[in-house]
Amino acid sequence: MMPEKIAKILCIVGARPNFMKIAPIMRVFGQHENVIAATLLHTGQHYDAAMKKSFFDQLHIPEPDIDLGVGSGSHAVQTAEIMLRFEPVLDQLKPTAVLVLGDVNSTISCALVAVKKGIPVIHVEAGLRSYDRGMPEEINRVLTDQISDLLFTTERSAEANLLREGIASERIYFVGNVMIDTLRYNLDRAAEPGMLFSAAGEAIDQAAFNSGYGLVTLHRPSNVDNPDNLKTLLTRLNSISEQLPLVFPVHPRTVQRIKEFGLENLLTSSRILRLPPQGYLQMLGMMKHARLVLTDSGGIQEETTALGVPCITLRENTERPITVTEGTNTVVGIDPEKIQASVDDVLATGGKRGRVPEYWDGEAAERIAQVIIKWAQGRIIKTQEAG
């Protein structure tokens, strides 16, 4: 007979991209509550209602059991603060394992505290590599993978990356993409973008938006913290908007930089709808109906591939190569001519069709649960044998 609650899993979230990934995991863990006891901890890295609460509400994520309330800061301050506040929680809860997601500062901070206390780390979305060490996320990915006991991957290239870095193959499980679990689960609930356009009133050219639009997101430090790069990008967006109206939900980091660098005048066209950060169902609806998406996000490259919507990635590289080889993604960087050529191509041809990658089928969280249950059973048997 199976022992009660063989696995006490402490699940960590911190920043917006973690929220859509934890939703299916918490739901599936709940379906296995006879064996898995899941606790949810939010570090507080993202705290604005628009960056946090709306995701919890819309995706029915349970209220975190623990909120560390760290807030913003430099990388050192944020990472250190999470570690300091996380340690006593870990001492008190003594989980079987700590589960971390993706590549944000909360991921590495909690993983590092756990591993040094001998608590196994489970990394969901392991093995992605941009091979660009200038990205803070790349550092977080490489280091988290090195100290993880179970590594769950979203695409096959990730396993090859991990093997090259010396990770034992028996720790790696190709399970698919939990973010796409969320997308499939919520697709029918996605908001109709027309609502946003009509709410925008006179600020925008309604007729133009109703006949098709592009969706834009920008928040990578390499794009928005550098005044020249940000100016180049906004200038190009301004001219693209003459061909195709643009919807631009602006990340808080980008709002600050636009103000700081005095670039507001580049976003005043009635063919650019500038919005605050949007909820999940709003973004999903806007992506689903867009003619194209221009972005520097990682997750949106995957979501557009799952939706079959052309994505033009405003970065020099991607850690998600399957979105290019199989999906709808084209990585163009920030050269204005290349961006323009790519937009022209999508508008003329409809862009890449692509196909949905292997295991992006809505079942990734269930596969993760199955692996964790087996792994936890194995540990119990080993302990019994040793005793």
Catalytic residues: 219
Between 252 and 271, how does the x/- string for binding to ligand UD1 read (CB under 6 A)?
Answer: xx------------------
Q: Is 48 in the site for ligand UD1 (CB under 6 A)?
A: yes
Alpha carbons 13 and 67: distance in angstroms, whole number: 10
Exposed/middle/buried for residue 338 (C-beta within 10 Å: 0-12, 13-18, 19+): middle
1 in Cβ contact with 37 (< 8 Å): no
Q: Decide whether 16 or 288 has the Cβ nearer to ligand UD1.
A: 16
Q: How far is the CB of 219 from ligand UD1 (least distance, A)?
A: 5
Single out the residue of 263, 200, 262 nearest to residue 235, CA to CA: 263
Q: Is 53 in the site for ligand UD1 (CB under 6 A)?
A: no
Q: Decide whether 46 or 291 has the Cβ nearer to ligand UD1.
A: 46
Give CA separation, 229 vs 136, 220, 235, 302, in Å.
18, 11, 10, 24
Q: Which residues between 1 and 20 bind ligand UD1 (CB under 6 A)?
A: 15-17
Q: Is 104 in the site for ligand UD1 (CB under 6 A)?
A: yes
Between 196 and 235, how does the x/- string for binding to ligand UD1 read (CB under 6 A)?
Answer: -----------------------x----------------
Q: Is 296 in the site for ligand UD1 (CB under 6 A)?
A: no
Q: Is 136 in the site for ligand UD1 (CB under 6 A)?
A: yes
Q: Is 51 in the site for ligand UD1 (CB under 6 A)?
A: yes
Q: Decide whether 100 or 172 has the Cβ nearer to ligand UD1.
A: 100
220 in Cβ contact with 59 (< 8 Å): no
Per-residue tokens: 262: 């005095």
Q: Decide whether 219 or 352 has the Cβ nearer to ligand UD1.
A: 219
Q: How far is the CB of 63 from ligand UD1 (least distance, A)?
A: 17
Angle at 25 (CA atoms; ends 160, 61), nearest 5 degrees:
140
Question: Is residue 64 helix, strand or coil?
Answer: coil
249 in Cβ contact with 276 (< 8 Å): yes
Q: Is 45 in the site for ligand UD1 (CB under 6 A)?
A: yes
Exposed/middle/buried for residue 348 (C-beta within 10 Å: 0-12, 13-18, 19+): exposed
45 in Cβ contact with 125 (< 8 Å): no
Size of the site for ligand UD1 (CB under 6 A): 18
Q: Decide whether 44 or 214 has the Cβ nearer to ligand UD1.
A: 44
- Which residues in this chain contact ligand UD1 in the complex, by CB under 6 A? 15-17, 45-48, 51, 72, 103-105, 136-137, 219, 251-253
